[in-house]
């Protein structure tokens, strides 16, 4: 066992031999969008993301489906179809699974991948000087909460759905090919929560510049309107004591840094001597990326109001 209960990583890792490690994860949740096929795709992408966050290539998945007795069969079929299409996009095989009756629909996967045991991505390998790079914008939590309350615009929902359905395959491959050794995916604990786990596991600190953090269109508005999910509030209560905010960081931005994400991007700690190669590949392959800060010596996280000044900050994909 290379990675198990003793670390806060995104999946379990079992060494098979000198060149192969089996990476195993599972994840499922209740619907975050109205369309059942979209829900299936999002839930599958979210489960597969844990493999990508560890540097693994998915090869096998099993369905986990919980459905109310009265749910129309075509709805369940659409959820499963969405999941199957996403697994196929990942180049993996869907080989069955399990279903049970439940009062509320839930769907996800057991997902297996293969990795090189000498080139895993883990939370505990970030080093001082590494540049923090994020590959998807924040704000799916407040946007989907607004959707539940019928207060989200169709355009904002469509943008959030497109990002949530996007696999982290290309980001994981670019990280591995450029010598990155530390990563996590940004999901339920929000950016601050998952970054805090990475810093704790690596024994380092970090600075994040909120002016360089990408947010979905409408995310600030929904946060200002109070469309804040319970998970985001829980994240703030738990992780905020570990964070030092500049006074100029707005309340809305603080909320969004804790926003509980669904199928978020990878957060990569890119060594400075590998940064140019990573950025070149990201630009050539059209991989969205934002440099948001840097790993530093010490403990804890400091959030600044300005933009991150680095060679990376002029090359990143942009959004509002």
- Residue pair 142/159 in contact by the 8 Å Cβ criterion: no
- Residue pair 243/303 in contact by the 8 Å Cβ criterion: yes
| pLDDT for 6 | 84
DSSP per residue over 204-249, as a string? -EEEEEGGGS-B-TTHHHHHHTT---HHHHHHHHHHGGGEEE-TTS
CATH of domain 123-314: 3.90.650.10
CATH of domain 12-115: 3.30.1330.10
- Residue pair 144/33 in contact by the 8 Å Cβ criterion: yes
DSSP per residue over 237-301, as a string? HHHGGGEEE-TTS-HHHHHHHTPPPSS--EEEEE-GGGHHHHHHHHHHHT---EEEEEEESSSEE
Listed residue (214, 216, 228) closest to 142, CA to CA = 228
Six token digits for residue 191: 């950016």
CATH topology of 12-115 equal to that of 123-314?
no
- Provide CB contacts within 8 A for 213, sequence distance 6+: 134, 138, 191, 253, 256, 257, 290, 292
pLDDT tens sequence for the chain (320 residues)? 999 988 889 999 999 999 999 999 999 999 999 999 999 999 999 999 999 999 999 999 999 999 999 999 999 999 999 999 999 999 999 999 999 999 999 999 999 999 999 999 999 999 999 999 999 999 999 999 999 999 999 999 999 999 999 999 999 999 999 999 999 999 999 999 999 999 999 999 999 999 999 999 999 999 999 999 999 999 999 999 999 999 999 999 999 999 999 999 999 999 999 999 999 999 999 999 999 999 999 999 999 999 997 544 444 444 33
Beta bridge partners, 111, equal: 25, 61
- Residue pair 281/178 in contact by the 8 Å Cβ criterion: yes
| pLDDT for 309 | 76
| pLDDT for 310 | 52
Helix axis angle, 230-239 to 190-202, nearest 10°: 40
| pLDDT for 27 | 97
Ranges of each domain in the chain: 12-115, 123-314
Find the helix or strand (DSSP H, E) in which 148 lies: helix 140-148
Angle at 255 between CA 50 and CA 314, to 5 degrees: 70
- The pTM of the full predicted model, rounded to 2 decimals, is 0.94
| pLDDT for 8 | 85
- Residue pair 228/144 in contact by the 8 Å Cβ criterion: no
| pLDDT for 225 | 97
| pLDDT for 175 | 98
């Amino acid at each position: 066992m290379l990675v198990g209960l003793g670390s806060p990583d995104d999946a379990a890792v079992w060494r098979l031999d000198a060149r192969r490690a089996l990476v195993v994860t599972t994840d499922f949740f209740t619907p975050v969008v109205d369309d059942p096929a979209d829900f299936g795709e999002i839930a599958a992408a979210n489960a597969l993301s844990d493999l990508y966050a560890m540097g693994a290539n998915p090869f096998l998945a099993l369905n986990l489906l919980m459905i109310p007795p009265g749910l129309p069969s075509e709805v369940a079929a659409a959820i499963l179809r969405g999941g199957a299409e996403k697994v196929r996009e990942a180049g993996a095989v869907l080989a069955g699974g399990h279903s049970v009756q439940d009062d509320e629909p839930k769907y996800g996967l057991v997902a297996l991948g293969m990795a090189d045991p000498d080139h895993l991505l883990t939370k505990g390998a970030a080093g001082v000087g590494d540049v923090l790079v994020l590959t998807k914008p924040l704000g799916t939590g407040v946007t989907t909460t607004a959707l539940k309350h019928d207060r989200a615009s169709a355009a904002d929902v469509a943008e959030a759905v497109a990002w949530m359905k996007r696999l982290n395959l290309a980001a994981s491959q670019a990280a591995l090919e450029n010598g990155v050794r530390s990563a996590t995916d940004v999901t339920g604990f929000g950016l601050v929560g998952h970054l805090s786990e990475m810093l704790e596991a690596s024994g380092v600190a970090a600075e994040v510049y909120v002016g360089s953090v990408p947010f979905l269109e409408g995310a600030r508005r929904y946060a200002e309107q109070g469309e804040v999910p319970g998970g985001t509030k829980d994240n703030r209560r738990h992780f905020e004591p570990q964070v030092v905010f500049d006074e100029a960081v707005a309340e809305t931005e603080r909320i969004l840094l804790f926003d509980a994400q669904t199928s978020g991007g990878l957060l990569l700690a890119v060594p400075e001597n590998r940064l140019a190669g990573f950025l070149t590949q990201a630009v050539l392959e059209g991989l969205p990326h934002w440099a948001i800060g840097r790993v530093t010596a010490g403990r804890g996280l400091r959030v600044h109001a300005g933009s991150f000044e680095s060679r990376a900050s002029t090359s990143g994909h942009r959004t509002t």
